[in-house]
Amino acid sequence: MLAEGISGSGDVVNDEKNAEPLDAHKVHKLRAKRDTGDEIDPVYKKLSAINGEINRMTSKELRDKLAELKLDIRGSKDILQKRLKMHYKQRKLMKAKVRPPGNTTYDYLIVIDFEATCQENNLNYNHEIIEFPGVLVDCHSREIVDEFHEYCKPVLNPKLTDFCSTLTGITQDVVDSAEEFPAVLARMETWMMKHYLGVDHTFAVVTDGPWDMSRFLQMQCNFSKIPFPCWGKKWINIRKAYSTYYSCKRMNLEEMLINLGLKFEGTQHCGLHDSRNIARIAIQLLKDGCDLVKNEFLHVNQPSQGSRAQGNSIKKSPQDPLKSQEEMVKKLEEMKLESKHFVDENQDLLEYHRLQSS
């Protein structure tokens, strides 16, 4: 058991190595050196000893210690260990007057989980966005502070399939009375401007997997003949961030919540409810000391018409051999699942197109 005297603790690409730096005015500039020649900074020696003790603790001992420290006691044993280790790490580094972990790269997160038109067992269906939610998380107060939510009228396939309405809960009357995507996107960006996102405050988009930006938004912008928004070029894949931080397998939304000791709130496949639950996971990651940074980015083709601003143009990678999103999906389906790497990086993208409700 820890001694009482211890205190102080399209083309989706990985982008974890290109994380944006923390704002200098928000953190102490001094840093502890992990290695100085053959010597290890004393603060890390102490943290190593603490971590060893934590690794030997049972689940009950971990919960008892977290309760004593007035910390969250929910979650699996691995998460409890990570939470307790981060607590002592933050306190130790603060006491040593160096930058503590847990400071965030961004001021805000925008959680987006689109719902789109779909047809059962049709991977080549032209998905159009029909629900556009945005849940705003303040990274410093670690709470949801605002929401954007509108429905969109589909154009290519204006009549929803029965499968789509059953899956998403969105009725034909709802989309018939909505405006088309470009108008909704413009209001979304006005909402972002109201919060001075990208002007006075830094922010990042958060999604549950890669397909919201790499497939749905890209296809929709192509259909609508509008440029892909610059804020969607890079984003945080919460599944990837979660599995990396907690050193666990890749999980879906419900599994991540259960692993944190939480339950899904609302109706699954409702874009707004999904977004709120993704936000809850992001908030818990922040509370546990994770600095959420953009870990995926996308090269996309810009439409030939309707360009709004040259500054938003995004060139498609010349190394991309695929000519269309449809070819990409077909190629992924044809590939054999020969390695764990393929499963980790691509099963999320294929999951929606198989239209599973997991």
CA 147 – CA 137 distance, rounded (Å) = 9
Q: What is the C-alpha to C-alpha distance for residues 240 and 257, in angstroms, rounded to an integer?
A: 14
H or E stretch covering 93: helix 77-95
Tokens for 220, please give them. Answer: 């929709």
Catalytic positions are 115, 269
Yes or no: say if 147 and 109 are a contact pair by the CB < 8 Å rule: no
* Whole-number Å distance between alpha carbons of 154 and 149: 16
Token reading at 213: 């930006």
Q: Which has the closest alpha carbon to 131: 114, 148, 110, 111?
A: 114
DSSP helix, strand, coil percent of the chain (3-state; round to 5)? 40, 15, 45
Task: Write out the two tokens for 330.
Answer: 């077909």
Identify the burial level of 168 via C-beta atoms within 10 angstroms of its C-beta, where 0-12 means exposed, 13-18 middle and 19 or more buried.
buried
Q: What are the CB-based long-range contacts (under 8 Å, 24+) for 54-63?
A: 54/2, 54/81, 54/84, 54/85, 54/88, 55/81, 57/1, 57/2, 57/81, 57/84, 61/1
Find all residues with CB under 8 Å of 157, minimum gap 6, and list them. 117, 125, 126, 128
Nearest-angstrom CA–CA distance, 282 and 236: 10
